[in-house]
A = this chain, B = another copy of it.
Amino acid sequence: MTDTLRVAMIGYGFMGAAHSQGWRVAPRFFDLPAEPTMEVVVGRDAAAVAAAADKWGWKESATDWREVIARDDIDIVDIVTPGDSHAEIAIAALDAGKHVLCEKPLANTVAEAEAMTAAAERAAAGGARSMVGFTYRRVPAVALAKQLVADGRIGEVRQVRAAYLQDWLMDAESPMTWRLDKTRAGSGSLGDIGAHAVDLAEHITGLTLSEVSGILDTVVRERPLLGEGIGLSGTASSERGTVTVDDIALFTGRFGGGDGYRPLGIFEATRFATGHKNGLQVEVSGSLGAVSFNLERLNELRFYDATAAGTEQGFRTILVTEHDHPYLAPWWPPGHMLGYEHGFSHQVVDFVEAITRGEQPRPSFADGLHVQRVLDAVERSSLAGSSWLPTVA
């Protein structure tokens, strides 16, 4: 490994911890064509960001992301701030010629995402790469699902069922956080977790949602204001605020992009699915088989082969930990589990390899924009009595 890629990370919450772990660990297990180095982490609160730099292993901290983006000694800008600042930072970084990794959702609005995608296309001409962080694509079991579908092992896609089930907000006294404020978060369960269900469904099938019909709902409309804390945790104050995002999003969609039958998908994103902690579930039914994934058992893929002898058919649980499974070669012996954060290492691998090969990494900002358009269409459909709306302009 001769070259290095010097990284600046903007933001340092829960996602910052995960990204830091990805940057740190990936080069230890994978032979990368260039070594990412953890240069600087950026945040508004100087003391807090300095502490984060120390904790997560960044050489420096800084408070002005514009200054950092202007530095010559930074190659990659990694954006892990709330969604309302993605567009401004990403566009500036791309215009400065930096490679950009941007956490999902790409932006809070379609307009922002369009501007970001345009910037990404401009920057690509100059060799700057950009990617949006749908890391669950990098869970080995998900990658195997995609591979089985692409290899024709389930035949023609007939149906998709996808859900992201959580129960984090089922306590009505759980406080407001920025994720429950539409101006900061853009949307609620739809954008935060439904986005993953949409992206995985499209990624695994290789199809795209062309029209959707949906409904959003808010179960608990008023919550205690946040005393202090960030993200989905935090303590409550005695005042109350109004939840302005959805708790639950239910929608159906029609996929295009294939040759024949245009399959339907059914989607659910909710933070009120009692007992489910992180149940991102995608199942694809095909003419020759099916694949089924649940993030709560992230090392497993369920696969049904309808071409097996009739008496021997059944969903099999593949423990996706073999060395010839996707991403698994450098890890542990068979049966030794990977965890949540490994997806962030795999993301680093794919991003670094795309950069050094001069290729467009996926998911691109255009992919992120498409997801944004799907979410936007769902939200507009909800306001229009669940009428079907196209996901393209």
Chain A residues in contact with chain B, CB under 8 A? 14, 17-18, 20-21, 24-25, 28-29, 55-57, 144, 148, 153-154, 158-159, 161, 163, 166-168, 170, 172, 213, 215, 217, 219, 231-233, 248, 250, 252, 261, 264, 266, 268, 270, 272-279, 285-290, 292, 295-299, 301, 303-306, 310-319, 321-325, 332-342, 385-388
Contacts and interface: CB of A to CB of B under 8 A. Distances in A.
Nearest to A213: B386
Given A314-B318, A386-B388, A266 B289 contact: no
A285 B172 CA distance: 14
Contacts of A287: 170, 172, 274
Contacts of A159: 248, 270, 272-273
Contacts of A231: 333
Given A310-B324, A386-B252, A278 B14 contact: no
Q: How many copies does the complex hold?
A: 4
B312 A303 contact: yes
18 contacts: A170-B287, A172-B287, A213-B386, A215-B252, A266-B266, A273-B285, A274-B288, A274-B289, A275-B314, A279-B335, A295-B335, A310-B324, A313-B316, A314-B319, A337-B338, A337-B340, A338-B340, A385-B387
Contacts of A342: 339
Contacts of A301: 314
B56 A28 contact: yes
Nearest to A334: B277
B213 A161 contact: no
Contacts of A298: 337
Given A304-B275, A316-B316, A388-B386, A322 B336 contact: no
